[in-house]
Each structure stands twice: as C-alpha cells, then as structure tokens.
Amino acid sequence: MYYPITIPDILVDSYDDYISYKETIIPTLKDFVICFWETQPVIQENKEISHIILFDGGIDLVVDYDNQEIYYAGMSKTVFDLTFHNTNRHFGVRLKPGAFHQLTGFSAKRAMDVLLPIHETDSTFDEEYLFSKTFEEAKIHMKNYLENLTEGKTPNKFVKLFDDFYLSPPDHTKTLSEHFFLSARQLQRAFAKNFGLTPKIILSVLRFQKCLTILSAKDARPVDVLNAINYYDQTHFIKDFKKHIGFTPLELIKRMQS
C-alpha cells in the first residue's frame, strides 16, 4: 500500500524539540485514508516553527484546533516555507490521492494549493460542534465523520492508482493512458478532476516517494535509487530529488543516519 514518507524531524533542525508529530493508521478507513496525523507542543514556550511539507499527491483534511479552522489542503509541489506556532494543536486526515474527488464529488483542483474550508464541500458540517469538544474528542468526531462519508463506497480506479504503481512507477504517461484506457487528452482531464495534477506530475510524485522509501532504509545508498527507478542520468536524478526535498540524496542519508 502507498504510504508517503513524512520526516519533519529530519528535514527541519530542532523540529522535535518543539513539536510532537504522530501518525495513526485507522483500519476502518484504510480504503480511502492513509493515516490520521497530529501535532502537539513539546514545550509551552511560544516559538514560530519552520516546516517542510513533502510532495505526496494527496489532499489532507486539516483541523487547526486552537484557531478553530478546518479545511482541505493539497499541493502541487513541496512547500518549503510553511511556518506555524508550536503551541497550536493540529490534527488531520491524509486522504489517498484521488479520494477527495470520490468522497466529495468536487474536482480535486478546488483543493490544490489553497485552503478549502470544509463548508464549501459539506454545508451540513457543524464546525461549532466540533470545536466545542476536547482535542481528543474532536479526533474521534472526525473519525466518525469519515466513516460515515466512506460508508458503502469502494475505491475507484483512480484512488487505487498509487497502490497499483508505487512499487514500480511507470517511465511514461503512456502507461497510465493504457492502464485507464484513455487517450492522452482524456487522461489529462481525468487527472485534473481526480488528483488536481497532471499525469506527468503524478509520475514525478510516484518516483520521488519511491526514492524516499529506498533512501529511508538502513544502509541506503543513492545508487540503489538509480537502479530501482530507471534513472539513467545521475545528474538529472539529483536535480529532481533536490527540487522536491531541498537536499541531495547523499545529504538526506547523512541527516537520517546522524
């Protein structure tokens, strides 16, 4: 199953001195949800924290508990300049790529590179009720909401795409056209609606996350990625990788093993 790598404590110096980050898999939601995540302050001293959100192709449902905001948020590239205060508590639902469109009926482009308030996709959602609850109760409420939203639904072929291809990302978008029995133009439209991204960008996500998976392994070497992802040009690989994460593969390995 596709599980994007999230390593804020590796990418941002002193992150875990101020923020506790945790991910939890919810078995009842595994067809549409990768995980629930949460951030909590480690110390009460108010600090502005830098954060890097890695490119993963998905859309999250984010709850900013202390500011009482709830919204969907996706991104078309890695976000390097996000800042927030460590005393603010957040939790969220990392939806599988494609799940936002199937579950809400809205085009994924609506939630890409913006903060889309939940009331724009579900006018019946009671935000006041959610924020009247404690942090732990609010997490349970959102779990129940997602279980109701997914009840009776099975993932469509777009939601299954990342699970089908994350172990062996295709070299060309033509493979995706053949997989969905769509022309190149039809594929562009379908991906815009289901992912908010182009087929070419989806392939970039798959390759990048596969690289991260390989480099996260014990005793990883950059050459392992070149062998597994069909990168024939090492310079091109390093340039692509650094664009998505801010470090070269060797620099990342050193940070992870230090």
Written as one string, the DSSP assignment of 102-141 is HHH-S-GGGGBTSEEEGGGT-TT--HHHHHTS-HHHHHHH
pTM of the entire predicted model:
0.92
Q: How far is Cα 69 from Cα 83, in angstroms, rounded to an integer?
A: 16
**Beta-carbon count within 10 A of 188 CB:** 16
Check pLDDT > 90 for residue 87.
no
Written as one string, the DSSP assignment of 10-51 is HHSTTHHHHEEEEEE--GGGTTTEEEEEEEEESSSS--EEEE
Q: What kind and span of H or E run contains 163?
A: helix 161-165
Confidence of residue 184 (pLDDT cuts 50, 70, 90): very high
pLDDT at res. 231 = 65
Mean per-residue pLDDT, 15-20: 90
pLDDT at res. 117 = 98
Radius of gyration of the chain (CA): 19
Percent pLDDT > 90 in the chain is 65
Q: How far is Cα 203 from Cα 163, in angstroms, rounded to an integer?
A: 13
Q: How far is Cα 241 from Cα 248, in angstroms, rounded to an integer?
A: 6
Confidence of residue 175 (pLDDT cuts 50, 70, 90): very high
> Mean pLDDT in the chain?
92
Confidence of residue 219 (pLDDT cuts 50, 70, 90): confident
List the single range of 32-46, 148-162, 224-238 with lowest mean pLDDT: 224-238
Mean per-residue pLDDT, 239-251: 88
pLDDT at res. 230 = 67
Give tens-digit pLDDT for 111-162. Answer: 999 999 999 999 999 999 999 999 999 999 999 999 999 999 999 999 999 9
pLDDT at res. 235 = 81
Check pLDDT > 70 for residue 101.
yes
